[in-house]
Amino acid sequence: MGHIRRRVDNYTILILPIDKGQNSIDAMAALRVRDGKEAGSLFIEKPKDGDPEIMRERFDAFQDFLSNDLVLLTNYSDARPVMDKLYQGWVGAFFTNTAMDALPQLEEAASRSGNPEAFRAEMEKARQTEDLLAKARAVHGLYEKAADILFGYQEGYPYWISRLPKEEERYMALHLPKRKTLGKAAAAWAFGLHYFYLGEPKRNILYLLTLGGCLIWTFFDLYRLPLLVDEANERIAEKVYAEAPKINVPGLSGWIQEK
């Protein structure tokens, strides 16, 4: 994921209880999420008799469930060596998915939430949960809350904000106003005032003086209103970013300024 700082809506939460002494896993659980909602789950464990054929079948089923999904973990540093060991031990490619460590975002969200103690208590409760699927569902709830706290402001604003270095992205989070919305723009359009709402007063005066271009402009604007809203939010984001203290990331700031 690099440094992309944006809500992820489609992913699979992977729970791997690690036996650090043996550097092994006896069971695994996965929770598939689509558009922020649970869309499926799977739990497997090693057979009691250790039958390798049965274990392979279960691993294969687990791999099929993961497919090429983004995998979200909360114990990435502990899980990575075991994931590599599993990959080396089986013929098929296993755990080659792109993985995201959610723990740093959860910790950051806790510090920025209205009640850090309650958020961290919820994190600790999830960590202590022994049922693996219940733990996955708890992590799902925590991640969605964290995404709202950290990145909820980005909805409707251009995607390049998520590519900014953390310090710049946090500046945008603190200084961006509420985005322009299609519903309010449509209400303003009904009274011929949508350009005022979208931050273009001179154009709105011209619009009124020409009676909406003898109504031709009026209906044309109704058709392209979603685009006008997006362009307004782009202008707002670019204006706020122009005032942000810049982090020296070669190529990134120039690319945004070219936009």
Please give the pLDDT value at position 244.
85
Closest CA to 155 of 176, 179, 177: 179
> How many Å apart are CA 52 and CA 47, to the nearest integer?
9
Q: Provide, rounded to the nearest whole percent, the portion of the chain with pLDDT above 70.
A: 82
Could you give the C-alpha distances from 98 to 14, 29, 179, in angstroms and in order? 12, 17, 31
Tens of pLDDT, residues 120-141 = 999 999 999 989 999 999 999 9
Tens of pLDDT, residues 99-120 = 888 889 999 999 999 899 999 9
Tens of pLDDT, residues 160-219 = 998 888 889 999 999 999 999 999 999 999 999 999 999 999 999 999 999 888 889 899
> How many Å apart are CA 82 and CA 181, to the nearest integer?
47
> How many Å apart are CA 125 and CA 110, to the nearest integer?
14
> How many Å apart are CA 211 and CA 27, to the nearest integer?
69
Please give the pLDDT value at position 74.
85
Tens of pLDDT, residues 26-73 = 788 999 999 999 999 999 887 777 677 887 888 888 888 988 888 898
Domains of the chain: 11-153 (3.30.420.10), 164-259 (no CATH)
Query: Is the confidence at residue 142, as pLDDT, over 60?
Result: yes
Query: Is the confidence at residue 259, as pLDDT, over 90?
Result: no
Please give the pLDDT value at position 144.
95
pTM for this model (two decimals): 0.79
